[in-house]
Structure 1
């Protein structure tokens, strides 16, 4: 696997990491149709835990089968596949070496009203199953956010020590944050910055709106005329908050929506300098042929062909 200049540049940003971690980051960036470009599309399937099986898979019953999802990622030429322990154990042997795997280490469920997540996997599990990275979610703003951050600190330290990369879902919610505030510009940029400060290699955040949630932050945005006018400029600002673009940031696909909206999001991420998409329900809830067509077009957008 000969690394491209772009991938070498990105790896150079992670100066303290060991060769094993850099090799796993390179493996993710050098896999699939976007290999070597510095862009990536990742398929995450943790929605069954978060929302329940029927809400996640009934729109496309084939998706109840754990094998359906990594095969979709492989056939679509994606960079990686992320899922919790049970689904990973069900497929890891069959997909070994075909697509980089990310073990999602913690999860919430819609039966609980808590703004917290339970740790459901270990770094040992990730190593045993041949994963390239671990994934973890924090909820900045929630009453349990500090405990989640400390849990992440410990797991990230352990993962890095054995050469795994670390992906952090940074989703502000709870506390004084309003529903609109969860995707506010100032809040999303803050979430990306916190994830970078916590040592994540790959950061996952939601696409920001032009809403500003925090009064003190709004004064600064207004004073310095920070451009929030388009989705692309908002993505660019999130990248600026992630160490001036020196951390990999991918953006959530969110709830199922029309195909044109999905493509518009991808173009905004590309034009704003984002590294790509981590997109689940918008693909696997569609029939397989439609999902493959959609993923192929998203990849084409990141390649500059669409």
Structure 2
């Protein structure tokens, strides 16, 4: 049974005020909001070719959120990014790639995002049953000492050959290696579009200097939003970003360029307004913003997932991409969590602020 507004309010607990917040910063009328015909109204107006439009529509038109304009994606690339042991030890069935895809299907997701190896291992059985998103680069995280870099693990051609409808990639904006990564990913995205694949960019910040006086500005609204803006510049069709947890990174770190109105007029302390600034930097929502679900913390996962979904939807975002909260628990519980996220987007009483 789908969650009602009352159910969602109960899950939000002390954060229930998010349901009645009115955004007075960037008004919703200025945004391009998710709709069931977003491929016709937004993407078809771009330079994307017909095959890319079909690929985007295959994601938009699948799962419990089919043709709402919203997406719920299961990402399981953590076997590389966080090590297989750290990721799958809580539930070892997910060492088997088939269970990753099964979770996405049973959970009613629009698509499953994973590595070349995972999706190739089961491609003939499942590529026609749920849209595949191949993550083409990773931080291999086995070199010692650890370094923060993204390297290519395969080709866009290989992703297309195994039946993917999209490729995903990460850029560590702000890192020493970011210039190379931007060029690599921009070229890969150009090739993906040529082959008819959609593109999704993980727009993450990585720089040891982005922490100051005990505050971590990697998820500052102003810095993460600029990463989004760089991402849509290299023609990402969808942007993946972490929810903002603070603001004022430019001012605190005393670098780059910003404007006082970013903080006085275009944002507030409310997480919906901070996330709306992220949406604005995705060409006012022309390219959809999906926020990540974050790590699994156990008992609070359901409430945190629903809270993130409410913030993203009310900010004008396109959906959620949640992995560890779903696959690091029994499959039945993972399905329930994914369905709860989707219920937020299906609930007509949860409106854009």
Q: TM-score of the superposition, structure 2-length normalised?
A: 0.82
Distance between the aligned counterparts of 1:256 and 1:147, measured in 2? 32
Gaps of 5+ in 1: none
- Determine whether 1:303 maps to 2:346: yes
Gap change, CA 1:35 and 1:172, over 3 Å in 2:
same
Distance between the aligned counterparts of 1:300 and 1:190, measured in 2? 30
* Kept in 2: contact 1:49–1:107 (CA 8 A): yes
* Kept in 1: contact 2:136–2:155 (CA 8 A): yes
Pairing 1:198-237 to 2, within 5 Å after superposition:
198-215=234-251, 217=258, 219-222=260-263, 224-237=264-277
Pairwise CA distance, 1:6: 4.1
For the residue of structure 2 that corresponds to 1:168, the secondary structure is strand
- Determine whether 1:251 maps to 2:284: no
Cross-structure match for 2:312: 269
Pairwise CA distance, 1:7: 4.1
For the residue of structure 1 that corresponds to 2:196, the secondary structure is coil
- Determine whether 1:106 maps to 2:142: no
For the residue of structure 2 that corresponds to 1:97, the secondary structure is coil
Cross-structure match for 1:8: 40
Cross-structure match for 1:193: 229
Distance between the aligned counterparts of 1:4 and 1:283, measured in 2? 26
For the residue of structure 2 that corresponds to 1:200, the secondary structure is coil
Distance between the aligned counterparts of 1:111 and 1:131, measured in 2? 27
75, 78, 88: which one aligns with 1:44: 75
* Kept in 1: contact 2:44–2:53 (CA 8 A): no
Pairwise CA distance, 1:165: 0.8
For the residue of structure 2 that corresponds to 1:243, the secondary structure is coil
Pairing 1:142-161 to 2, within 5 Å after superposition:
142-161=175-194
Distance between the aligned counterparts of 1:175 and 1:144, measured in 2? 13
Select between 209-218 and 294-303 the one with higher mean Cα deviation: 209-218
Gaps of 5+ in 2: 1-34, 252-256
Cross-structure match for 1:172: 205
- Give the count of matched residue pairs: 302
Greater RCO (CA < 8 Å, at least 6 residues apart): 2
Gap change, CA 1:28 and 1:196, over 3 Å in 2:
same
Pairwise CA distance, 1:248: 1.2
155, 170, 182: which one aligns with 2:218: 182
